[in-house]
Structure 1
């Protein structure tokens, strides 16, 4: 059974139910349609970037169960291209080229009269590629637009902060009826308003806001759904995002420190010196990396581990070799989740620690070759930050943006999007983070060399 099918099914189900469902409802639908264990479903919902688990009395360190009261929200990294309406897009890879009024459901041009100058075609070459890359081709038009409305912050007005302060029908909002933001109770949107129907703030879309939203092009049906959409927007904004690149993420880089540490390979065990033995919280393995595939109920070691690791360390590779290759971007093999465990990053340990993982940061150059940060590119220009400095910044905040220079040009590197952008020309280059390759023989040599040093020092 393919996890991809379950992900696609669950995404469609959520989008057809105003973007979210209680876990108990989603569980019932999925388990009625697929032969999957509770653990398997929980793992997919927690580790797949397409879902957010929010609410309830959730224990975020447990991966064996999800509180039935939790809500599962559909999410995506796809947005409408901001530069498309300005005719400035350089064929971006992640932005849809669509009329936003078409997404709202009420474009006044595409109805048999004067044609709209902006695309209404989901199947156009560009849009098809974006939807294919983000695994959204299964969604029908209404489901896709629901997903976009609750994930793309440019589509809906913000909740007015000033309306939620002060007294009177408009709170402290000085714009009153002419305010372009939404006048609705923020606590109602957050799901924690203690006043209920007695609240002085509105718990529905009032006539003034309805008119503004309709003038904006939003259909009455979508306006009716807005309170639940705003609730999803709020929860998505406040929940932690483990990854946006790939469907199933490497759990060694999950949201909690304790979880990340429990999936780290023990440095002391590699040196044959772990005194905690079976009580150690780290993974005991003879290499500084370990590749595993999820086989229905448990993680199983992959064969030809050194060959997979060698392929992964080359930033040009998106797959390993062989008849059953590992997809490095999706972290899957034949749709089954794959993860890579590793030792701690080398920047987090003193230099004398052996067999830490040296992560290397690369940017794709003009000729298609991947250039390590801090080394000269094809024009002999060097970036102002090194790979080591980027790794330190990434571990401090993996959603940060880093400003760097190369030659006379300034760039912005987004850890979240894994792109380097030239803000002047709005061009982008892909960025990848891959480990430095260490063979099994090199591991053994380092281990033996470390032991010899110990004998000499004694």
Structure 2
């Protein structure tokens, strides 16, 4: 794409000047005013350059029209979190993330303009930052363009949309924090672009006064807050595309479940007979913290011997369940039909007193072919520098596709993308698996009392 560097830069600038996204045909018309480019070249750039995410319309493949497509600007650049916490990060020339003041990006840093200098960099063109920007061909962007690009791509910069606000019938949904919630109260369907109620929707389609006050306290400028509903829609498109790519491009043996949404989470309160939302609850009501289903035509139906399937699945050495007609855990199929496993939320997302959350354990294949849990001693009494809980937290945060781990004198990298642990020195690989801790039906009944 180096032959189209000017066109890519101008298209990026147009997108950043239009809240990070534009309709495909509109972008083409605007770009023609700046560059001499054919329609064929334009489509080639949009589909082939990693800077642009092409979001198709809701219609099927045959019904998609160019005017239904949206282009979203994307980048792999992030702010260095260690730098922002004044922690070691490898330093300039080693760290592959930008060293910038977060509040400078927000447009609200009080320092650096007066007598007292800011302890964090406001220099986008510093040697460290310029090197990274040049590698991503972003060195010619203006500061406001770069900051918009970072805001919709760096998940650490903006608070999440509150999922609990979008459930239940109350004015705050089922968000127990209500006016003190530190997440953004916005209609999730508006963010996703599929709200059917429009102006009649009971959920916010814009930031209200209370939300504005909370966001201003967090450090965001009024200009950013005004554009947040549109930025969150871009974030949704980028996250959805990343989740799809993470599963669709992997061999079936190495596929990792994408973190579940509320609609496929099992309700913790229902298991304990205490769900006050009843039929209005957006979570799945089931008597166990796991549920195995098979796709029968267009309907998901329960699999028989669910506890036995779950027991086998919790064993990382097993690739299928027992019996004459097993469930294949690598392809998630049962007699060529699709299978899925629903569960309660991961235990790392809730305080310890929450019962019957799902405890996910992470394993690597040891020297003798046995599976060893991270953080536990192997056959030579060596332990890894990370535990299952640490890996689960990082995995769910989606902050990074890889995690470094040390065992003894050796360094490894765990890749969430292909579920392998790689030796940095010898480049050898070991398989990695994520399986839940087994909970029997009897134990569920005892805890649910």
TM-score over 0.5 for the pair: yes
Give the aligned partner of residue 87 of structure 1: 87
Out of 135, 141, 145, the residue aligned to residue 139 of structure 1 is 141
Distance 1:73 1:223 in 2: 19
Which is bigger in relative contact order (C-alpha 8 A, separation at least 6)?
1
Closer/same/farther in 2, CA of residues 26 and 212 from structure 1, 3 Å limit: same
Give the aligned partner of residue 121 of structure 1: 123
Give the aligned partner of residue 186 of structure 1: 188
Deviations 1:267-301 (A, max 9, x none): xxxxxxxxxxxxxxxxxxxxxxxxxxxxxxxxxxx
Unaligned runs of 5+ in 2: 252-366, 368-399, 429-449
Deviations 1:163-191 (A, max 9, x none): 11112221111111111100111111111
1:162 lines up with 2:164 in the alignment: yes
Give the aligned partner of residue 412 of structure 2: 411
Runs (4 or more) in structure 1 with deviation over 3 Å come to 57-62, 240-244, 254-257, 399-410, 413-417, 419-422
Displacement of 1:16 in angstroms is 1.0
Give the aligned partner of residue 321 of structure 1: none
- State which drifts further: 402-411 or 99-108: 402-411
1:353-364 to 2 correspondences below 5 Å: none
Give the aligned partner of residue 32 of structure 1: 33
Displacement of 1:416 in angstroms is 6.1
Closer/same/farther in 2, CA of residues 93 and 242 from structure 1, 3 Å limit: farther
2:413 partner SS = strand
Distance 1:52 1:226 in 2: 19
Give the aligned partner of residue 50 of structure 1: 51
Unaligned runs of 5+ in 1: 245-253, 258-373, 375-398, 423-427, 433-458
Distance 1:106 1:69 in 2: 36
Is the 2:185–2:211 Cα contact (8 Å) retained in structure 1? yes
Displacement of 1:46 in angstroms is 1.0
Distance 1:400 1:224 in 2: 31
Closer/same/farther in 2, CA of residues 256 and 411 from structure 1, 3 Å limit: closer
Closer/same/farther in 2, CA of residues 169 and 242 from structure 1, 3 Å limit: closer
1:196 lines up with 2:198 in the alignment: yes
Distance 1:132 1:168 in 2: 49
Is the 1:23–1:66 Cα contact (8 Å) retained in structure 2? no
Deviations 1:126-167 (A, max 9, x none): 111111111101110100000000000000000001111112
Out of 224, 232, 235, the residue aligned to residue 222 of structure 1 is 224
Give the aligned partner of residue 353 of structure 1: none
Distance 2:421 2:79 in 1: 19
Closer/same/farther in 2, CA of residues 26 and 166 from structure 1, 3 Å limit: same
Give the aligned partner of residue 68 of structure 2: 69
Displacement of 1:255 in angstroms is 6.4
Distance 1:204 1:227 in 2: 6
Displacement of 1:44 in angstroms is 1.1
1:306-317 to 2 correspondences below 5 Å: none
Give the aligned partner of residue 41 of structure 1: 42
Q: TM-score, normalised on structure 1? A: 0.54
2:33 partner SS = helix
Is the 2:13–2:145 Cα contact (8 Å) retained in structure 1? yes
Give the aligned partner of residue 251 of structure 1: none
Displacement of 1:47 in angstroms is 1.4
Distance 1:6 1:185 in 2: 35
Give the aligned partner of residue 8 of structure 1: 9
Distance 2:202 2:244 in 1: 38
Give the aligned partner of residue 99 of structure 1: 101
1:135 partner SS = coil
1:377-396 to 2 correspondences below 5 Å: none
Displacement of 1:110 in angstroms is 2.4
Deviations 1:226-260 (A, max 9, x none): 0000000001111258999xxxxxxxxx9699xxx
Displacement of 1:410 in angstroms is 4.7
Distance 2:155 2:207 in 1: 19
Displacement of 1:95 in angstroms is 0.5
Distance 2:229 2:422 in 1: 35
Q: TM-score, normalised on structure 2? A: 0.55
Closer/same/farther in 2, CA of residues 241 and 126 from structure 1, 3 Å limit: farther
Displacement of 1:221 in angstroms is 0.7
Deviations 1:51-104 (A, max 9, x none): 001131577799xx9622211000000000011123311124421001101100
Distance 2:60 2:106 in 1: 37
Closer/same/farther in 2, CA of residues 224 and 168 from structure 1, 3 Å limit: same
Closer/same/farther in 2, CA of residues 421 and 255 from structure 1, 3 Å limit: closer
2:189 partner SS = helix
